[in-house]
């Protein structure tokens, strides 16, 4: 009877040990609500002391009924002052109301909560979007933000959804994404292209060859957080992690999707890839969102490198703005040079007209010297003389303005960088020297002309300067006209000299302009060469990165194999422990049977000795097996054996469910 009861207890213990794993799993499922309830009640302590465990739980998914309060706690949006302003904001009018009304019907059109023109979902969605457009007038309303608000409204009332959305815009970089310039979206695309180029170089080359730009498929990922790309259960799991870790999960999930579909995408053209992104990829992880999350956290992501990329993108934008300003400055200088050239042409034309008038005056004076002089003719000469004086004054004013402009241009030219490489500019300097020689030659000719005019004037004054009072009035008037004409010719010569000097400065400035333009051309050629070198180095870097990625992949495979082998060894150890427990139990049963046989005296002397000998042989065999398994030969009680088996199986379940904590 006791042996039968022992066998029953043995069968019962085996049933308990075999069902321990399933009971633990069901226990964990039942305790999920209790666990998350304790997390919500002890939120500050969990964030302060159990942050890593909380992160793991969030990655495994927040229960549906706890999402509303957990999202508010993660966003620190439980007690916000803007919540008290919500009712007042709804009474105001917003300039974005028409745009919001237009897009509401296209937000989750298949969802029951938002289906129908006058549905409750559309009404509360309009209220939240209108209220935010009044709070943040710089952003106002942007397409794509309604999907995020719609997801919040599926989980919580509109006041709480409004507070969480305000916190998301302020603390999670979404406000920069939705600004009119969308500068943050450009930065995210720049960072994502770097990850694609580093980790999937073949796919990146294929995208570029097909002109399939990153913004064509990734813009909606960042603007709607995959809410318009993936099914709602999968997108909600991603949003759980986004509330805790920010935009990093968007980069990880995007790279995981591209890694999973790399083989198929490389074989498609641009239209085929667009169809693949729209129809195939969204439904690949419907049945198992954990598979996508696991792949996302296998993606290599370096936060420090992403910060450096943010700085590089900002510097690149500043450089582009500087280059654009430089081009505008060059265009303005070219326009000013053109205006100066036109003014020089006008001055030259005026000078030629004045020269013609002076020649006519000289001809008239010659005729007067050969003919008789009349008072009317003298009056005409005086009038022409006054006109020539006026033209001379205008020419002097124009020359002064030209000199001021030339000085201004010289100041601007002095601010330009000097040329250090003299050997490359020898040809240009020769041309400039030739021009300078020509200008100096013309200037010397003008000086000779002025000297000759001065000599003539002095001769004229020596001949007729002291005898004018003896001549007739007409003769005196003629002499005065000749004196004035000689003065006009002197001033004309001086004006020509100044004009030559202005031409000389203009030629020098043109030469400097040509030198600087050629310098700019040389710098552009050098920059192109440096860019080619940079592209070559980038190609080599891509190859090395591909090799490094392959080595890391092989290392990861080896790590997985080693983990599997360790797990198999632990399972074999557990099986051996269970077998040893059964052997110990059998030994205990045989000892009990031996004692019963000796006490009760049911066997005769010879039979008992034979039976005891058999029992001793069996006990010896069992002890030998125990020695082979390297287990001490001391016996344990039956309850202790059951406890050991339970502890072993609990350890195995913990290693399967919580691999990071073991």
**Any residues with CB less than 8 A from the CB of 59 and at least 6 apart, and which?**
240, 241, 293, 297
pLDDT at 443: 60
Residues with Cβ within 8 Å of 292's Cβ and at least 6 positions away in sequence, in order, are 234, 253, 256, 257, 285
Of all residues in the chain, the percent with pLDDT exceeding 70 is: 70
Res 32 pLDDT > 70: yes
Q: Give the pLDDT score at 574.
A: 81
Question: Is residue 638 predicted with pLDDT exceeding 70?
Answer: no
Angstrom distance (rounded) from CA 86 to CA 68:
19
Read off the tokens for 543: 């190859």
Distance between CA atoms of residues 482 and 476, nearest Å: 10
pLDDT level of residue 260 (50, 70, 90 thresholds): very high
| Contacts by 135-140, CB closer than 8 A, 24 or more apart | 135/82, 135/85, 135/89, 135/166, 136/169, 136/175, 138/179, 138/180, 139/169, 139/175, 139/178, 139/179, 139/180, 140/94, 140/95, 140/96
Q: What confidence tier does 326 reach under pLDDT thresholds 50, 70, 90?
A: low
Write the DSSP assignment of 273-342 as a string of letters: HHHIIIIIGGGTTSS-HHHHHHHHTTS---HHHHHHHHHHHHHHHHHHHHHHHHHHHHHHHHHHHHHHHH
- Mean pLDDT, rounded, for 229-253: 93
Dist. CA 64–CA 156, nearest whole Å: 11
Maximum average pLDDT range among 179-183, 272-276, 379-383, 443-447: 272-276
- Measured in whole angstroms, the distance separating CA 252 from the mean position of its chain's CA atoms is 15
32-46, 92-106, 295-309, 370-384: lowest mean pLDDT where?
A: 370-384
Q: How far is CA 346 from CA 173, 202, 394, in A?
A: 60, 64, 12
- In this prediction, residue 9 carries a pLDDT of 33
User: 423: which DSSP letter?
Assistant: G
d(CA 192, CA 411): 47
Residue 246 has pLDDT above 50, yes or no: yes
Percent of the chain with pLDDT over 90: 24
> SS3 sequence, 443-507?
HHHHHHHHHHHHHHHHHHHHHHCCCHHHCCHHHHHHHHHHHHHHHHHHHHHHHHHHHHHHHHHHH
> Nearest Cα to 365, choosing from 480, 457, 494, 491?
480
> Tell me: the pLDDT tens digits for 544-597?
888 888 888 888 888 788 788 878 888 888 888 888 888 888 888 887 877 766
Instruction: Return d(Cα 462, Cα 174) in angstroms, integer.
Output: 94
- Count other Cβ atoms within 10 Å, centred on residue 641: 21
Looking at residue 117, its pLDDT comes to 79
- Judged by DSSP in three states, 242 sits in helix
**Residue 522 near residue 424, CB atoms below 8 Å:** yes
- Residue scoring higher pLDDT (49 or 336): 49
Classify residue 166 as exposed, middle or buried by CB count within 10 Å of its CB (0-12, 13-18, 19+). buried
Reported as a pLDDT band with limits 50, 70 and 90, residue 398 is confident
Asked if 277 and 215 touch (Cβ cutoff 8 Å), the reply is no
Structure tokens belonging to residue 274: 């667009």
What confidence tens digit (pLDDT) does each residue in 215-225 have? Answer: 899 999 999 99
Q: How far apart, in whole angstroms, are the C-alpha atoms of residue 340 and residue 335? A: 9
Alpha carbon separation from 126 to 72, 174, 407 (Å, rounded): 21, 19, 64
Longest Cα–Cα distance of the chain, Å, equals: 191
Q: Is the pLDDT of residue 10 over 50?
A: no
The DSSP annotation for 18-80 comes to HTHHHHHHHHHHHHHHHHHHHHHHTHHHHHHH-HHHHHHHHHT---GGGHHHHHHHHTT-SS-
Q: Which of 174-183, 232-241, 341-350 has the highest mean pLDDT?
A: 232-241
Per-residue pLDDT averaged across 630-655, rounded? Answer: 41
Q: Which of 14-28, 193-207, 624-638 has the lowest mean pLDDT?
A: 14-28
User: Structure tokens of 200?
Assistant: 């999937």
pLDDT of residue 475: 66
Q: How far apart are CA 485 and CA 362, in angstroms?
A: 8
Mean pLDDT of 400-416: 68
- Give 480-501 pLDDT, tens digit per residue: 777 777 777 777 767 776 777 7
Quick check: helix, strand or coil at residue 111?
A: coil
- Determine the pLDDT at residue 242: 94
Asked if 503 and 439 count as a contact pair (C-beta separation under 8 A), the reply is yes
Rounded-to-integer distance, Cα 207 and Cα 221, Å: 18
- In this prediction, residue 527 carries a pLDDT of 81
Helices and strands (H, E) in the chain, number of each type: 25, 0
> Which CATH number is correct for 54-320, 3.30.365.10, 1.10.472.80, 3.40.640.10, 3.10.150.10?
1.10.472.80
Residue-by-residue DSSP string for 159-228? HHHHHHHHHHHHHSSHHHHHSTT-HHHHHHHHHHHHHHHHH-HHHHHHHHHTT--THHHHHHHHHHTTTT
- Residue of higher predicted confidence among 19 and 394: 394
| Category of 580 on φ-ψ map: left (φ > 0), alpha (ψ -120 to 50) or beta | alpha
Which helix (H) or strand (E) segment is 363 a member of?
helix 303-370
Residue ranges per structural domain of the chain: 54-320
Contact 612, 590 (CB under 8 A): no
pLDDT at 1 over 70: no
CB atoms within 10 A of CB 480: 14
pLDDT value at 382 more than 80: no
3-class secondary-structure state, position 350: helix
Which residue has better confidence, 187 or 6? 187
pLDDT, tens digit, 9 for 90 and up, residues 74-123: 998 888 888 888 999 999 998 998 999 988 888 888 888 888 777 889 99
Task: Lowest mean pLDDT of 309-318, 454-463, 544-553, name the range.
Answer: 454-463
Measured distance between the N- and C-terminal CA atoms of the chain, rounded to whole angstroms:
44
Q: Is the pTM of this model over 0.85?
A: no
Which of the listed ranges 295-304, 310-319, 465-474, 628-637 does the model predict with the highest average pLDDT? 295-304
Pick the range with the lowest mean pLDDT from 386-390, 603-607, 633-637. 633-637
């Amino acid at each position: 009877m006791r042996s039968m009861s022992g066998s029953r207890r043995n069968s019962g213990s085996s049933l308990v040990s075999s069902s321990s794993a399933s009971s633990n799993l069901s226990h964990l499922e039942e305790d999920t609500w209790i666990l998350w309830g304790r997390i919500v009640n002890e939120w500050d302590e969990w964030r302060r002391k159990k942050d890593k465990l909380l992160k793991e739980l969030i990655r495994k998914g927040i229960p549906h009924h706890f999402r509303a309060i957990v999202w508010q706690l993660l966003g620190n949006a439980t007690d916000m002052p803007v919540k008290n302003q919500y009712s007042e904001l709804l009474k105001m009018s917003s300039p974005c109301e028409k745009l919001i009304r237009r897009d509401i019907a296209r937000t989750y059109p298949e969802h029951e909560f938002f289906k129908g023109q006058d549905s409750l979902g559309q009404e509360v969605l309009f209220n939240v979007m209108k209220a935010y457009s009044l709070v943040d007038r710089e952003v106002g309303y942007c397409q794509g933000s309604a999907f995020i608000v719609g997801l919040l409204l599926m989980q919580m009332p509109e006041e709480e959804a409004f507070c969480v959305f305000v916190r998301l815009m302020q603390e999670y970089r979404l406000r920069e994404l939705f600004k009119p310039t969308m500068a943050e979206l450009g930065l995210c695309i720049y960072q994502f292209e770097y990850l694609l180029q580093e980790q999937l170089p073949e796919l990146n080359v294929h995208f570029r060859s097909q002109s399939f730009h990153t913004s064509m498929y990734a813009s909606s990922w960042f603007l709607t957080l995959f809410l318009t790309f993936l099914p709602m259960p999968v997108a909600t799991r991603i949003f759980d992690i986004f509330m805790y870790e920010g935009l990093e999960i968007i980069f990880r999930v995007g790279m995981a999707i591209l890694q999973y579909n790399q083989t198929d995408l490389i074989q498609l053209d641009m239209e085929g890839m667009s169809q693949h992104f729209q129809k195939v990829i969204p439904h690949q992880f419907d049945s198992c969102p954990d598979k996508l999350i696991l792949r996302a956290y296998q993606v290599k992501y370096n936060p420090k490198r992403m910060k450096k990329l943010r700085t590089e993108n900002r510097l690149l934008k500043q450089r582009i703005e500087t280059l654009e300003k430089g081009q505008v400055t060059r265009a303005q200088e070219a326009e000013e040079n053109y205006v100066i050239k036109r003014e020089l042409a006008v001055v030259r034309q005026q000078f030629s007209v004045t020269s013609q008038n002076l020649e006519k005056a000289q001809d008239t004076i010659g005729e007067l010297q050969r003919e008789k002089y009349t008072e009317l003719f003298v009056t005409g000469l005086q009038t022409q003389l006054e006109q020539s004086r006026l033209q001379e004054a205008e020419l002097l004013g124009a020359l002064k303005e030209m000199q001021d402009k030339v000085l201004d241009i010289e100041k601007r030219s002095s601010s330009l960088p000097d040329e250090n490489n003299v050997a490359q500019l020898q040809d240009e300097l020769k041309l400039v020297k030739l021009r300078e020689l020509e200008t100096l030659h013309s200037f010397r000719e003008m000086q000779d002309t002025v000297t000759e005019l001065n000599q003539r004037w002095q001769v004229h004054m020596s001949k007729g300067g002291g005898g004018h009072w003896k001549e007739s009035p007409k003769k005196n008037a003629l002499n005065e006209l000749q004196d004035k004409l000689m003065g006009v010719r002197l001033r004309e010569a001086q004006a020509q000299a100044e004009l030559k000097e202005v031409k000389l400065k203009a030629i020098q400035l043109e030469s400097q302009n040509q030198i600087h333009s050629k310098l700019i051309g040389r710098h552009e050629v050098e920059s192109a060469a440096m860019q080619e070198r940079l592209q070559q180095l980038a190609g080599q870097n891509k190859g090395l990165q591909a090799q490094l990625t392959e080595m890391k992949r092989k290392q990861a495979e080896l790590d997985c194999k080693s983990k599997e082998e360790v797990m198999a060894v632990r399972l074999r150890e557990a099986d051996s422990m269970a077998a040893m427990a059964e052997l110990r139990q059998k030994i205990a049963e045989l000892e009990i049977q031996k004692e019963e046989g000796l006490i009760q005296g049911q066997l005769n002397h010879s039979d008992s000795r034979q039976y005891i000998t058999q029992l001793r042989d069996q006990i010896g065999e069992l002890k030998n097996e125990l020695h082979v398994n390297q287990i001490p030969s001391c016996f344990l009680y039956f309850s202790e054996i059951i406890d050991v088996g339970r502890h072993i199986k609990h350890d195995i379940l913990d290693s399967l469910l919580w691999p990071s904590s073991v």
